[in-house]
Structure 1
Amino acid sequence: MAAERSRKRKRNQEESIARIKKGKEAKKKAARKKKRGPDDDEDDDDYDDMMDMYRKAKPLPGQLENCELCEKRFTVTPYSKAGPDGGLLCTPCGKSQTKDAKAAEKALKPVVPRKARRKLESNRLDGITTRGAKPLQQLCIEKLANHSEDIDDFGEMPEAIMNRLSEIFSKKRAMNSTTMKLFLRPDMDTVAIHEAAYLETEDFNQIIAVVPEIKKLSLRNCCQFKDGNMEYLIEKAQQLNEIQLLGANLVSNDNWINLFSARGKNLKALKLEWLDAAFNDEAVQALIEFCPNLSRLKLERCKQLGVDSIRAIARAENLEHLTLRLCKEIPRNDLVELILAVGANLQTLCLENFMDSKEEPDDDVLIAIRDTCTHLSKFRFTENHECTDAGFVNLFTNWPNYPLRYIDVNSTRDMDNANPEGPEDFPVGLADVGFRAMMAHSGSRLEYLDIASCRHIAHETFTEVFDGEKQYPQLREINLSFCPVVDTQVVAGIFRSCPQIKKVVTFGCFGVSDVVVPKGIVLIGAPKAQDAIEQFGDTIFDFQTDMMRRENGIVVPTMA
């Protein structure tokens, strides 16, 4: 039985080999026929098969052979290249032939100019959407950044250019203990280092030593800023009145309190972000107690802060700019009390991610803002699912505040995944009526608008607000990302209603396609773009002519 199975398996193998050989012969004949052409005689196939019998077999690996090009003797390997006449080539000639073939193939391909996608994405994330030739000043700044190790001194440069150089050095990770010295001069009063991750502890003391009259200090990602640096700053920086530190997690809570008690009378602005282990409620209470002239306060992602910090900030009498983003849940009543206490003098109010999961949706916070804040120019109220559309309507209807210049209300929507459309009776977050009231109140002076993820605004509302007849003369940038109803018609309406628009962001808006972008405008995030995320406008579009054609019933397919 076993012998029969063995014979059967051997017979199947032989049949498979025969089929493979037959297939290879058919492919060879088809190739010769294609090469021969339709006018040649088919009997040549028999002649070619006969001549194959007399051709010399190729040498096997390990044998010696003469190179077809240089005629040198070499040892054949499995990787030996074939020559143009069927012979073999030595290793140098084989490499040269491969190189020449690649060069010829590259020369035949059409040259397609491509942008460095990584660079474009990096610039886009930095908010840079320029197109065309760079200004001479920008080219000089980038050249300096590329040769940072060869520079001894910047000389007398304006503060704006020094700050721009610091940004580029930080972005290129070129800010270290050596290059940092280029940005320090004894006559300066402002030091801004946007990426201090490569600086050592001694470098921070050197900043204060070289710039003794410093008034404004900004250090981002200063992970090596320690207690010793804070003590040196308290002792030497007598005129310091503005401090911005990001990631200074090695400073103890006691040294924060010492800073406020020693330099509190001069301190006017404090910006702290990403503090984990220290800077708790006691430090905030000391800040409010010892800093009576504090006018600008920004506390974001400081994990130790809670309700006591909110109650302490409510006692600040001279606050004009307030930005808060805490990690702990804050009861709504405490937040309302804060706004009622400090809102009358505020020019900037930014409240991010303030939600209490234990309470039902309510508009107490927006009511407090409407009743108290009458001097705002910038308003940010994001990631909230407690306030309703009726609350936004009440806020922007007959609000005695001047029209806002900056509005960011992204992600104000219902968070129930089981019901993504939200409740029908009372929409949660910014919806149709609230959006209309917002644009009616601030549309005349609005410059920046962010309503990303406000998914409860209907398509009819967008087309009504941006219909080409209503004009928003100052609006330069708008973010509509992840508003699913936004389509080509809405974007075209924005182009007609906003004569100064420069940037439109539409990530996640899958109805946007085939938009002709007017000259001077950049459309970012259109999902139907084949290669580039950014679509720059090249065509000059006459908005008045377009509106006249639409009034006469003439449809312009390129814009809507």
Structure 2
Amino acid sequence: MTLGQIDRADEVAGIVFVDRKQSALTDFLASHNISAQQINLDYQARLARQQADQAAAAAAAANEENNANGSDDDEDVAEQKKRKRKEEKAIAKIKASKEFKRRKFEHHRAKDSDDDEETDDDALARDMMKKPQKAPPKPGQFANCETCEKRFTVTPYTLAGVDGGFLCTKCGKELKDEKSKAEKAAAKSKKKALVPRVRKRQQESDRMEGNVKLGAKSLVEHCVRKVADVVNDIEDFGDLPQNLLDRLSQILSKKRVLTPRTLQLFLQPGIDRIAVYDCAKLETEDFNKIFAFMPDVERVNFRFAGQLKDEPFRYMIEKNPKLRHLQLDASNLITDAAWTDLFLHRGDQLETLKLSALNDSFRDEIVEIMASTCPNLKRLKLRKCSHMTEQSINFIASMTSLEHLSLAIAQESSAESLVNLIDSVGSNLKTLCLEDYCDADDSVLEAIKNNCTQLTKLRLTGSPSFTDNMLANLFDAAWPNPCIRHIDLSSNRDMDSAMGPNDEDDENPVGFGSNAMKAMMVHSGNKLEQLDLHSNRHVGKEVLLDVFDGVKQYPNLKDIDLSFVTHVDDVVMTGIFKSCPALEKLAVFACFSAREAVIPQGIAVIGLPNAQSAVETVGGA
């Protein structure tokens, strides 16, 4: 074999070996889902992104340079001249070079014009002054790391830096980790920022209800709210106790989602009471269904029951023999004939009757029938019944079994009728509420003092005739009535009087004033739980500071309304917080001098625009 044949054989053997080696490598990459084509495509995409980033960075730098060159006002005059001399010297040097002459010749030949030759020369010289942009290194070439300046070999997986350069393996990994951490922190902060906005409506709703207790809500409350959120997916409440059913009814009514479908969940034969606080979406058949499913019901409470008509009402009278407590609101489709049937068939067993917003029925004749057929009625509440007159007050005066009486009807009734009413039924009353009787005067207060000795709740509102001295006289030591737990003496002032809240010359103003305030707190302060004095403008600041001085204590007072009492300020509020350790809710609408008081935690202050931000933090003053 010749030498040439030997060389040819070695070459063929080498080619076969390389082919086998490449084939084995290809099989290995394919088995691991590694594609050379995909690697190349990824590299080209990264290279295009890098070039785009570099172009954007160059444009930004040029823009910054132009802005810097354009802001001659910020430079010193000497620096401007020095910079211009350097620039002119550099341009002149470039114009003298052969490269400039060659480019100028090519430029003019392409432009084919000699206009504005000097301007073109300067522009061409400035273009030549710019440093040419280097092409990015390709895989396999060397580059310096943008961060640590370490020299390394560029690969298709090399990451681009912030300034357009490349990063070594170590710096690229650190940059990747930093980006990941930043993304997680941004997502976490975004989630935290959304929580207050999502819950703000519920928090404000709870605050209006006086519910601002620290910490999480009870497990029962959480469960009830969760059930209310998914009520449309529930088939049966099971054996829930009555108090939780009532709470669910309140939440669903507040959300306006109590429909015929959800009503079905409350209908359980073994329960003796039903309370629906929003019947606006119920139809006549739904009321029939309630009384059919619950034959042993004793307590019925329907609010906004506009679709309750004579048919289901008479069905209730017939099929519910144990009915003893009835409360209806806005049931205007029930006729006087149906009311007559109720009192004739069930009047002797009724113990509670609460009616409100009746505009088309329940006239004086029905009140007369009620008074004669309901001997066991102990609780009577009538509000906004349009067809009642003073004659109805006289009929109610014959119901001597009453223990709780609340009337906001026939507001034009005379003081004599009210006095006669109190003289007749006052001795057994535990609750007395007379609202917006314009003709009620001091004689009514005197009748209360002479006849009522068991009151635990007193509400006298909207009278323009009560005097401060007579209100104070009502609460003096001669009144044998024990401490009252709930007092509402709001809006008792003369609207036509020219005397304002700062006029204290009148020793006996018309309305609830300073004397009444002192006497009331001395009489009932130890047991008082709820106090409403809104719109009583004659209560002086000195009395407020004396009553709520931080030393006197009212251990049971939980709810106070001093809205539109103009003398309430930050000092008075601070005294209230110290004198009422059990306080849960304070309303101070239109008290414009109260803005900076620090609110202790756990107290809902209603009426201040910045109340939430003024809440005392843990460990605060």
Asked if Structure 1 and Structure 2 have the same fold, meaning a TM-score greater than 0.5 normalized by the shorter chain, the answer is yes
Shift in CA distance, 261/38, structure 1 to aligned 2, threshold 3 Å: farther
Which blocks of at least 5 consecutive residues in structure 1 are unaligned? Answer: 1-27, 56-102, 542-557
Task: Tell me the distance in 2 between the aligned counterparts of 1:195 and 1:277.
Answer: 20
CA offsets per residue over residues 158-208 of structure 1, 9 Å max, x none? Answer: 111110011111111111111101111111110111111101100101111
C-alpha separation between the residues in 2 aligned to 1:436 and 1:417?
Answer: 23
What one-letter code is carried by the residue in structure 2 that aligns with 1:468?
A: G
What's the TM-score, normalizing by structure 2?
0.69
Q: For 2:257, which of 153, 159, 174 is the aligned residue?
A: 174
Q: Does 1:188 align with 2:267?
A: no
Instruction: Indicate if the aligned counterparts of 2:212 and 2:602 stay in contact, CA closer than 8 A.
Output: no
Question: Based on CA coordinates, which of the two structures has the bigger radius of gyration?
Answer: 2
Structure number with higher helix proportion? 2
Range moving further from structure 2, 114-123 or 444-453: 114-123
| Residue equivalent to 1:344 | 427
Please name the residue that 2:536 is paired with. Answer: 454
Residue 387 (structure 2) aligns with: 304
Q: How far does residue 494 in structure 1 lie from its aligned partner after superposition?
A: 1.2
Q: Tell me what 2:342 maps to.
A: 259
Alpha-carbon shift at residue 346 of structure 1 (Å): 0.4
Pairing partner for 1:469 from 539, 551, 554 = 551
Contact 1:396 1:441 in 2 (8 A): yes
Do 2:432 and 2:458's aligned partners in 1 also have CA atoms closer than 8 Å? yes
Match of 1:511 in 2: 593
Matched residues in 2 for 1:261 and 1:208: separation? 19
CA distance in 2, matches of 1:34, 1:213: 91
* 1:373 alignment partner in structure 2: 452
372-381 vs 514-523, which moves further: 514-523
Q: Given that residues 519 and 540 in structure 1 are in contact (C-alpha distance below 8 angstroms), is that contact kept between their aligned partners in structure 2?
A: no
Q: Could you tell me how far 1:381 is from its partner in structure 2? A: 0.8
Cα 1:109/1:217, change in 2 over 3 Å: closer
Q: Secondary structure at the match of 1:438?
A: helix
> Which one of 496, 500, 508 corresponds to residue 416 of structure 1?
496
2:360 to 253, 274, 277: 277
Q: Counterparts of 1:442 and 1:232 in 2: how far apart (Å)?
A: 46
Partner of 2:248: 165
CA deviations over 1:373-392 (Å, ceiling 9, x no partner): 00000111111111100111
The AA in structure 2 aligned to 1:331 is S
**Alignment counterpart, residue 467 of structure 2, candidates 388, 395, 405:** 388
- The question of whether the paired residues in 2 share the 8 Å contact of 1:217 and 1:244 is answered with yes
**Secondary structure in structure 2 of the residue aligned to 1:251:** coil
Write the distance in 1 (CA, Å) between the matches of 2:557 and 2:515.
Answer: 20
Q: 2 CA distance for matches of 1:218 and 1:45?
A: 93
2:521 pairs, out of 432, 435, 439, with 439
Structure 1: how far apart are the matches of 2:348 and 2:468?
A: 43
Distance 2:187 2:269 in 1: 57
CA deviations 1:318-350 (Å, max 9, x no partner) are 100001111541111001100110000000111
- 3-state SS in 1 of match to 2:301: strand
Tell me which residue corresponds to 2:162.
Answer: none
3-state SS of 2:260 partner: coil
The CA distance in 2 between the partners of 1:302 and 1:151, in whole Å, is 39
Whole-Å separation in 2 of the counterparts to 1:523 and 1:127: 8
Question: Displacement, 1:424?
Answer: 1.8
The 5-angstrom pairing of residues 38-437 of structure 1 reads 112=193, 114-115=196-197, 116-356=199-439, 362-398=441-477, 399-416=479-496, 418-421=498-501, 424-437=506-519
Give the match for residue 576 of structure 2.
Answer: 494
Instruction: Please state how far the C-alpha of 1:126 moved relative to its aligned partner.
Output: 3.8
1:520 aligns with 2:602: yes
Does the C-alpha gap of structure 1 residues 212 and 36 become closer, same or farther in structure 2, counting only changes over 3 Å? farther
Residue 464 of structure 2 aligns to which amino acid in structure 1?
H
* Residue type at the aligned position of 2:243: A
Q: Which residue identity does 1:141 align to in structure 2?
A: V
Q: CA deviation at 1:540?
A: 5.7
Shift of 1:289: 0.7
TM-score w.r.t. the length of structure 1 is 0.76
Distance 1:514 1:173 in 2: 37
- How far residue 533 of structure 1 moved from its aligned partner, in angstroms, is 5.5
Using the TM superposition, name which of 161-170 and 418-427 deviates more. Answer: 418-427
Secondary structure at the residue paired with 2:302?
strand
Question: Tell me, what secondary structure is at the counterpart of 2:416?
Answer: helix
Q: Is the 8 A contact 2:302 2:327 kept in 1?
A: yes
Higher relative CO (CA 8 A, sep ≥ 6), structure 1 or 2? 2
Distance 1:255 1:305 in 2: 17
Task: State the percentage of identical aligned residues.
Answer: 41
Name the count of aligned residue pairs.
Answer: 461
* Shift, 1:45, TM fit: 13
RMSD over aligned CA atoms reads 3.3
- Which deviates more from structure 2 when the two are superposed, residues 411-420 or residues 399-408? 411-420
Is the 2:493–2:510 Cα contact (8 Å) retained in structure 1?
A: yes
Any idea what SS the aligned residue of 1:504 has? strand
Cα deviation for residue 30 of structure 1 reads: 7.2
Distance 1:31 1:372, change over 3 A: farther
* Corresponding residue SS for 2:534: coil
Determine the C-alpha separation between the residues in 2 that align with 1:409 and 1:498.
Answer: 19
Contact 1:387 1:429 in 2 (8 A): yes
Question: What letter is aligned with 1:347?
Answer: K
Would the alpha carbon gap of residues 108 and 463 (structure 1) be closer, same or farther in structure 2, given more than 3 Å must change? same
What whole-Å deviation, never above 9, does each CA across 1:517-546 have from its counterpart, x for those lacking one? 22332322234x2xx5685443468xxxxx
